[in-house]
Homo-oligomer: A and B are copies of this chain.
């Protein structure tokens, strides 16, 4: 039953060097089967679509996430938002500066704890959010279509969830 397959490889595409010395090539993993690698490529591709979707609104993924979290629960402290997203609080400062400069979010000094800032949307920010969600919905639908449907999306999310955290 076809044992000539690897003996004669007449195809110039696959026959070229054939691991000259030792180096058992059979032990080398195909890049397309390496979880981390495929994960990285997929993530870059999805982010690429996200970024292109948001070029007009000039919003980056991290900024989207921050605005979304503030909208979901206004009043949270800077550190809380940063930590939820895995952003170091030192790096969060510039990000928040940007959102404040654009007038979509603001810091308020908390009277109870004068160290912390609670984060809120501005009125303009609330208007912006609806625009943002519209763009995001189109993007997410595109991703779901690529996956094959909602069921596949759900399955993917489940599998990815098993990979996060638990370090």
Contacts and interface: CB of A to CB of B under 8 A. Distances in A.
Contact of A72 (B25, B39, B45): B25
A143 B112 CA distance: 44
B71 A19 contact: yes
Contacts of A37: 61, 65
Nearest to A160: B42
Contacts of A61: 36-37, 40
A43 B43 contact: yes
A16 B75 contact: yes
A164 B36 contact: no
Contacts of A40: 43, 47, 61
Given A75-B16, A155-B155, A159-B152, A44 B129 contact: no
Interface string A62-101: 0001001101111100000000111000000000000000
Centre residue among A33, A37, A153 by max chain B CB count within 10 A: A37
Interface in A91-143: 121, 126, 129, 133, 136, 140, 143
Interface of A: 16-17, 19-23, 25, 27-29, 31-50, 61, 65, 68-69, 71-75, 84-86, 121, 126, 129, 133, 136, 140, 143-144, 146-148, 152-153, 155-157, 159-167
